[in-house]
Structure 1
Amino acid sequence: MLTKLMKHVSALEKKVLELHEELEENNRASANLLRLGVVVKAEANTVDIQTGDNLVKRIPFFVLAAGRVSHYRRPSVNEQCLLMNLGSGDNLNNAVALMGLPSTHFQSPTVKENEVMTDYGNGMSELYNLDDGSLICRYPGGMKIYGDTWQDGDYQATGEVTDHTRSMQADREIYNEHEHPGILPGPAKTKPTEQQQ
């Protein structure tokens, strides 16, 4: 009877050790499921991420859209991310990087609840105010539109307005100084227009 009891205890001990080992493996896997990381290298569609002592190379990163509508932004070196391990265990090579976590290195461009802002760097930004519906765009390098434009409302410019021929100011100068030869008999010309453009 004692021998039978010892065999049973030995079998239970073996099972407990197996369960302990399985629990340890599950703990390691869950610890690597989600991790914070920092971009150390960015390529066209992959990044190298430093997470703790681990360097994970050439893993894909999330973009805003990648279907019929697509969007691309290459992550920045030192940008913080969330590393999601799609595999199991300690191997992070099956992970993907979810970008866009603000950090002390790359802070949020605004923290006001009524503002949506994209800061592209180098002075270029777009700021939309949710309360009054205004949009302020700063494009220090200019903006080109390929296509027809239509506007319902006033248009104001602090600089020149120019078409394919000349500026509006050049047209004003021509109009304001133009003469009408040949209208009056003889060599006389009419005076410049009284109404300025």
Structure 2
Amino acid sequence: MSLADEIADLRRRVANMIRRGVVSEVRMGSPVTVRVAIGNITTPFLPWIQTQSGRHMQVSNPPAPGDAVTVLSESGDLRNGQVWPGQNIDASPVPAPSEKHHTIRFDDGTVVRYDREAKSLTITLSEGGTYRITGKGTLDGPVEITDTLTVQGKTQINADTKVKGNIGASEEITDKTGSMSGIRKIYNSHNHPGDSGGTTDNPNQKM
């Protein structure tokens, strides 16, 4: 190889050590691999770098075609490249920057935002979105529910309870002395000694 060829090869390798491009194809697997379009070049499938993959924590953030990325290649050989996410482009802009807000936004409209100044965490699900938390937990602080609450399991309350609205039950209601149906039965069939002897009739108005 002539000196001119060696210099040209070195220049090519240096230029290919850091290249910016766009994901053209995604292959889900372990690990995830992608092909990247860089100008008129399309790389082979290269490993997608996750933001965290260690012993204590692993993060999965799947790429999509059209994502702007950076390819880092050892020795300037694109066949040895690794694909890093995170370029800010007009096609997929990051949420509006703020000194106090940390925001994650998903393409379906779901937003997770933490306000350091207000010490407030807000999770806004897209229309029709649901959430599920599995495992034992504790809510240590005041909680306000502004819509319907449905509990499928048993409920135990260990403190005084105030209710401003009506209470309805399709089954039995009991306290430490008896049940509502038992009290109703006693009331509806009870009588008293009459003023002129005998006993009074049962109540006219039933419970």
Per-residue Cα deviation, 1:33-55 (whole angstroms, up to 9, x for no partner): 10111001111110010011110
From 104, 127, 134, give the equivalent of 2:120: 134
- Paired residues of 1:39 and 1:79 also in contact (CA < 8 A): yes
Find out whether 1:79 has 2:45 as its counterpart: no
1:14-53 to 2 correspondences below 5 Å: 18=3, 20-44=4-28, 45-53=32-40
Residue in structure 1 matched with residue 158 of structure 2 by the alignment: none
Cα distance in structure 2, aligned partners of 1:85 and 1:122: 33
Cα distance in structure 2, aligned partners of 1:191 and 1:161: 33
Offset, 1:123: 2.2
From 12, 36, 41, give the equivalent of 1:54: 41
Find out whether 1:104 has 2:107 as its counterpart: no
Q: Residue type of the partner of 2:67?
A: E
Offset, 1:64: 1.4
- Partner of 1:26, secondary structure, is helix
Q: Relative to structure 1, is the Cα distance of residues 189 and 96 closer, same or farther in structure 2, using a 3 angstrom cutoff?
A: farther
User: Gapped runs of 5+ residues in structure 1?
Assistant: 1-16, 193-197
- Paired residues of 1:181 and 1:190 also in contact (CA < 8 A): no
- Paired residues of 1:181 and 1:188 also in contact (CA < 8 A): no
TM-score (norm 1): 0.75
Identity level (%)? 19
Higher alpha-carbon deviation: 72-81 or 163-172: 163-172
Cα distance in structure 1, aligned partners of 2:136 and 2:108: 28
Q: Relative to structure 1, is the Cα distance of residues 166 and 159 closer, same or farther in structure 2, using a 3 angstrom cutoff?
A: farther
Cα distance in structure 1, aligned partners of 2:23 and 2:94: 17
Residue in structure 2 matched with residue 146 of structure 1 by the alignment: 134
Cα distance in structure 1, aligned partners of 2:204 and 2:99: 66
Residue in structure 1 matched with residue 168 of structure 2 by the alignment: 173
Offset, 1:66: 1.8
Residue in structure 2 matched with residue 123 of structure 1 by the alignment: 109
Whose helix fraction is larger, Structure 1's or Structure 2's? 1
Cα distance in structure 2, aligned partners of 1:172 and 1:189: 26
Find out whether 1:161 has 2:145 as its counterpart: no
Supply the RMSD in Å over aligned alpha carbons.
Answer: 3.0
Q: Relative to structure 1, is the Cα distance of residues 182 and 23 closer, same or farther in structure 2, using a 3 angstrom cutoff?
A: same
Per-residue Cα deviation, 1:69-95 (whole angstroms, up to 9, x for no partner): 21111111111001111143xx41111
- Partner of 1:136, secondary structure, is strand
TM-score (norm 2): 0.72
Cα distance in structure 1, aligned partners of 2:153 and 2:203: 31
1:59-70 to 2 correspondences below 5 Å: 59-68=46-55, 69-70=57-58
Cα distance in structure 2, aligned partners of 1:132 and 1:191: 56
Whose strand fraction is larger, Structure 1's or Structure 2's? 1
- Partner of 1:71, secondary structure, is coil
